[in-house]
Amino acid sequence: MELGTKFPARLEPFLLMAKSVKGAAAAKLVQDATSAPGVFVFAELLDLPNILELEKSEQHRKFLSLLQLFAYRTYQDYLQHKDEIPPLNQAQIIKLKHLSIVSMATEKRACHTILPYSDLLKALDMPTVRELEDLIIDAIYLDILRGKLDQKEGQLEVEYTMGRDLEPGKLESVLAALQDWASATSSVLATLDSKIVQISSETTAAKKRQDEYELALQSNLKEVSEKNASTKGSVNSRRTLLESNMRMDVDAPAYELTESKGKNRKAPQENPKPLRKRNRF
């Protein structure tokens, strides 16, 4: 939820009462509204006729200044113009210091504003760092700002703040700042769009190169596979032929050797019978 969205609703009861009170009652209403917990915006109350009439009363004029102080000024403004403003009670002092932190962060006009403790101690007239940190923590819990305390560096890192009422005559400067911000944002967006188009084009080209590479690789692999298959078939044929020839070469000498031996060998002769001598009578 955006900061400060509940604050206008908390002003509603005072707006209703302000329509029917004047003079001292209107002054008392201003005192109550600036002291009330959770009430941090006052522009609508300032616009009501019964409140504006306080300017015409010497006795009650200070209460209109009091309301203007809480609407768009700071604690330093209070210190400098104490004579023009009724004395503040403790609740009002704490609330004004909370609103002063918002104003200090807003003046930086950065997404992450850094507020050194030294600047805050001086601007808020705080005696110790411990009391300053307690004040900041209360502001965070009240949904006045979002940030974190950096005790090591001695600073407050502000992420977001509520919006304060605009002082008369400041609307033009705010509009100018918003125009500058819009121009800067448009320039950044145009640069980002250009970068996105460039990256998209480079990605498409890279994908095309990758596809071509994959296609060439598959073609080469197929060609190599076909060559290997052809070479393997040829080798197998030659191997089969060679093995056949080898079998023939091995068998042939055995046959010839047998045949040759058969030719050259003489038939075995039978042992001649011994001649028997015959006796002559």
Burial grade of 92 (CB within 10 A; 0-12, 13-18, 19 or more): buried
- Coil, strand or helix at 153: coil
The whole-chain average pLDDT of the chain stands at 84
135-142's contacts with Cβ under 8 Å and 24+ in sequence apart are: 135/94, 135/97, 135/98, 135/101, 136/101, 138/94, 138/98, 139/98, 139/101, 142/38, 142/98
Mean pLDDT for the stretch of residues 201-210: 91
Instruction: Tell me: pLDDT of 41 over 70.
Output: yes
Mean pLDDT for the stretch of residues 226-239: 72
List pLDDT tens digits, range 94-126: 999 999 999 999 887 655 789 999 999 999 999
Do residues 116 and 155 lie in contact, with contact meaning Cβ atoms separated by under 8 Å?
yes
Mean pLDDT for the stretch of residues 134-160: 94
**pLDDT band at residue 276 under the 50/70/90 scheme:** low
**pLDDT band at residue 53 under the 50/70/90 scheme:** very high
Distance between CA atoms of 34 and 173, rounded to whole angstroms? 27
For residue 54, the number of C-alpha atoms closer than 13 Å in the C-beta half-sphere is 28
User: What is the model's pLDDT at position 245?
Assistant: 65
Of residues 216 and 279, the one with the higher pLDDT is 216
User: What is the model's pLDDT at position 260?
Assistant: 45
Mean pLDDT for the stretch of residues 4-18: 89
User: What is the model's pLDDT at position 104?
Assistant: 93
